[in-house]
Structure 1
Amino acid sequence: MTSPSTLFFYIAAALAAALTAWLLVRYRQERHYRRRPYVAPAHNDWQLHQPDPLTPLQHRVALLGDPGAVATDGTDNLLRLLQHWQHETGPAGTVIILGDNVYPTGLPAPEHPGRAAAEQRLNALLDVLRPFPGNVVFLSGNHDWNKGRPDGYEYLLRQEAYIREQLPTAHYLPAGGTPGPVALQLADGLLLLVLNTQWWVQQGPRPTSDSKEPFRQLQRLLTENQHQRIVVAGHHPLYSNALHGGKFTAKQHVFPLTTVHKRAYVPLPFIGSLLPLYRKLVGAAEDMAHPRYRKMRRRLLRVLHQHPHLVYAAGHDHNLQYFEQHGSHYLVSGAGSKTAFVQKGGQATFVHEHKGFFSLDYYANGETWLRTLEPDAAGAPLPEVFRQRLYPGPVVAAPLVRSVRLPVTAELPL
């Protein structure tokens, strides 16, 4: 008769063997597709489709997330690619910076030892944007709020004031750390709605608001502007095949601390799988599984799913992802200065672990095209790895909706 201790040993050994086999299979699969563009089989013919070169381009929108770790010596290939896009686009364009504008913790106080490095990184981005004749819109992300810590509101206000001083023509939306939404008319029939998604997951002080009221306002704006093409921008994605969506590499199960720091190679086999499992099911504050994030996402999707034919753009995860859900299009464009693992398949139409950003091209005949822009080592644009026509249809002119800058509720030293 087998003793309980022996039975427990056999069960533990079987589970360990099964986990080891699963990790080896996952590792082999990941090595095969990591850093390669993935396109869902239904869209494998994407190269056969392109905009009519004779149709005038009405407006272009660059969606650039998480640029907070760009090189500050003028050699950053992503910033060079952005310069190329700006030169090609001219005044009929908008650059939307989707948050996490300065790593690792936003813009510290003037006396902080990390202030100089933070300023250099932010200035490198501002210097590239300064000559652009089109619109520039900044959002804030969790890192801009001191990684969501209780004093993050001070960091947010300080960064907003700095950008307003250094680049007065830029919009920092929503102003003063409020949740939004804020509307900005980009062109005839093209409206941008900006949400401060960090407001819902932030700890500590933040501007006072009913947490449900922004969704009611968003519902009203979407209903009133159904005749327009609409882009909704927020820092946090609503769909993701990457870290914040609960997807982890086989390596992260064996070296779980690399999810916190890329060089933390402390082997914790088997036990290490508990951290990815925790972040998938419970979540840190920046993960979709976290209760605050989950509630915000559920409420936001409840509104957006009622209004097809829009684009929701976010950063946060350091890769490029595209999902089509309920007649609308959901983008993750957070590869502005870092890259990280993204899992292929699932609900995604396209994913790629590569620096770059998405561009939305709006044409005079009403078509909207999604393009993927990625730099080579020198910053020149690589051949496109994916594009898709999102919407056909005629352009309908719309009444002008101006952005409203709310008063900043506190002043901090620059």
Structure 2
Amino acid sequence: MMALGLVSIIFAAISVAYCYPTAFQHLEDNGTNRTSIKFLAVGDWGGVPYPPYITAVQKATAREMSRVAEQMGADFILALGDNFYFKGVNSVDSPRFKETFESVYTAKSLQVPWYVLAGNHDHAGSVKAQIEYSQKSDRWKFPSYYYELNFHIPNTEETLTIIMLDTIMLCGNSNDFLDEKPRGPLSAVAANRQLVWLQERLEKNKADFLLVAGHYPVWSVSEHGPTECLLQRLYPLLNKYNATAYFCGHDHNLQYIEESGVGYVVSGAGNFLDPDVRHWSHVPKGSVKFFTGQASTFGGFVHAEVTKSHMILTYYQAKGTSLYRTVLSKRNFE
């Protein structure tokens, strides 16, 4: 049995090795001599499945995202899952793509690539339909359940890698309404395949900034708390391969937790807000640097700027002000 398991892991490693050559994404230059990459990160932004298909928080957050993107700049947006509440979409022709996405993020400054990953609510519907929507939209970029993005930081020698994961495939689904923890992957083979792929990509990666993104948090002080499966399977890899930061959503608030030199960014305030801090004592002591989930913020998201030497993270509330800022250094390979 064990030999069979080993064979399947080796086969998975071989099959993924050929699928994902390192390709660099093209960034619009706009004729400027800029020396940084800028992006927004927003999770749990997926409206509601009944008219008007959006929430007041989503609307306010979309408006502030457009303002920040216009003033601060945004080359792309990371969409961190739970893209369509409460049961994803069931077809590439679902009207929800228009109602909850296209008709909400209409500002010119948000007509940039949206790099998408799936959340637990998306897995309640067809993630495949969301992947297929990439063919119908100019800005919706969801090539595969998990994938890697590589960027040259303009006019510098430095590079940025973002690895987009499917943490539901890795850990299993959870039912928010029953406050369930992920119950283990639907397919152990698919979970292992993703893990082998991830380890291989991390091992080879020499980017100056390495970000990993998924829906479930590694660390969180809020309702869902730390994800045990990710602490076992992902956390050691983030430390071993010197990741700069891990981005996620799932808990409907904004958090910044710093632990073992890795920044943990929770940006799940795109549609609902939750001030819950029931897991405050379940994260390493002193690691929580920032938290807000107050209804008075109207929602929120994160703006990141990656320069030659640093990554600057700024947390914004939809009400129109920045709440917190932190700076992370580039990776040290010594």
Same-fold call, TM > 0.5? yes
Q: Choose from 271, 280, 297 the match for 1:337.
A: 271
Query: Which runs of structure 2 are paired with 1:4-403 in the superposition (5 Å)?
Result: 58-69=36-47, 76-90=59-73, 93-108=75-90, 119-125=98-104, 127-128=106-107, 132=110, 134-146=112-124, 152=125, 155-161=126-132, 163-173=133-143, 175=144, 177=145, 180=146, 182-188=147-153, 189-200=159-170, 201-202=172-173, 209-245=189-225, 288=227, 294-343=228-277, 346=285, 347-353=287-293, 354=297, 355-364=299-308, 366-376=309-319, 381-382=320-321, 384-391=322-329
* Contact preservation (8 Å) 1:359, 1:371: yes
**Which structure features the higher share of helix residues?**
1
Consecutive unaligned residues of structure 1, counting only runs of 5 or more, are: 1-54, 147-151, 247-287, 289-293, 395-414
Q: Which SS does the other structure have where 1:239 is aligned? A: coil
Tell me the distance in 2 between the aligned counterparts of 1:371 and 1:131.
18
Pair 1:133–1:186, CA change in 2 (3 A): farther
* Alpha-carbon shift at residue 219 of structure 1 (Å): 2.4
Tell me the distance in 2 between the aligned counterparts of 1:238 and 1:307.
16
Q: Which has the larger radius of gyration?
A: 1
Which amino acid is 1:373 matched to? Y
Tell me the distance in 1 between the aligned counterparts of 2:191 and 2:250.
22
What RMSD over aligned residues (CA atoms) do the two structures have, in Å?
A: 3.2
Pair 1:342–1:72, CA change in 2 (3 A): same
Alignment partner, residue 177 of structure 2: none
* Contact preservation (8 Å) 1:56, 1:363: no
What is the TM-score with the length of structure 1 in the denominator?
A: 0.58
Which amino acid is 1:122 matched to? F
CA displacement 1:244-302 (0-9 Å, x = unmatched): 117xxxxxxxxxxxxxxxxxxxxxxxxxxxxxxxxxxxxxxxxx3xxxxx334411112
Tell me the distance in 2 between the aligned counterparts of 1:369 and 1:137.
20
* Contact preservation (8 Å) 1:108, 1:118: no
**Which structure features the higher share of strand residues?**
2
Tell me the distance in 2 between the aligned counterparts of 1:199 and 1:205.
6
* Alpha-carbon shift at residue 306 of structure 1 (Å): 0.7
Alignment partner, residue 8 of structure 1: none
Tell me the distance in 2 between the aligned counterparts of 1:369 and 1:199.
30
Pair 1:124–1:299, CA change in 2 (3 A): same
Tell me the distance in 2 between the aligned counterparts of 1:79 and 1:132.
9
Which amino acid is 2:301 matched to? F
Tell me the distance in 2 between the aligned counterparts of 1:360 and 1:387.
10
**How many residues were matched structurally?**
270
What is the TM-score with the length of structure 2 in the denominator?
A: 0.70
Tell me the distance in 2 between the aligned counterparts of 1:120 and 1:237.
28
